[in-house]
Homo-oligomer: A and B are copies of this chain.
Amino acid sequence: MEKALDVTRGLTLVFTGNGKGKTTAALGMALRAWGQGMKVLILQFIKGGWKYGELKAAEKLGPRFVMQQMGEGFIKGSNDEGLELHRTAAQKALKEAQQVILEGAADMVVLDEINYAVHYGLVDKRDVLDIIRSKPPHLHLVLTGRNVSDEVAEMADLVTEMREVKHPFVAGIPAQKGIEF
């Protein structure tokens, strides 16, 4: 195992599927990288608008763990009236991501819910493919969100599908502090 430490190759990881754990897996990756002294940037493409435990955690973790909420909240479907607002927010997140990645200002960049943003046409798939293709070799890139496109999955080094087997909301349990937010 130790020898591998010398080989630095930034990976592109995808967490997709309809199950829970995509964003949390990305957060765990970010925490692990942060623990290794890396600089982490997490950009949210969809969620936003209320206080998450992770936002409070990010504050406490300090300047090497930056989390930016760019999204305008949940999309209600492709007929969502606020779709244009979502698009503006997602485009802003994309620009931020492109800039940080280009500058090499982070060791790991998490594009949270970007797959979902592509799926809804808020972000052009070609822009995402460009980011993967042109990222600095050392950079770890983590893309989350359901409905990852085939081309993005094809370019990624690792793809995990989170499959929902059982969900508490189905059983009528409300969102819980420390779990859902």
Contact = CB atoms under 8 A, between A and B. Distances in A.
A137 to B, nearest CB: 12
Interface in A158-173: 158-168, 171, 173
Interface in A71-123: 107-108
Report copies per complex: 2
Interface in A1-41: 1, 3-5, 7-11, 13-17, 19-38
Contacts of A178: 29, 32-33, 36, 38, 107-108, 140
Interface residues of A, number: 70
Given A19-B160, A160-B163, A161-B19, A53 B32 contact: yes
A16 B173 CA distance: 21
A32 B179 contact: yes
Contact of A176 (B8, B56, B168, B179): B8
Contacts of A164: 160
Interface centre among A34, A53, A174 (most CB of B within 10 A): A53
A153 interface: yes
A53 to B, nearest CB: 4
Given A24-B26, A140-B176, 15 more contacts: A1-B50, A11-B168, A11-B173, A13-B20, A19-B161, A25-B25, A28-B30, A29-B179, A31-B57, A32-B52, A32-B54, A32-B178, A38-B177, A107-B178, A161-B163
Ordered nearest first, which 8 A-B pairs have the shortest CB separation? A35-B57, A24-B28, A27-B28, A32-B53, A33-B178, A4-B174, A35-B53, A21-B25
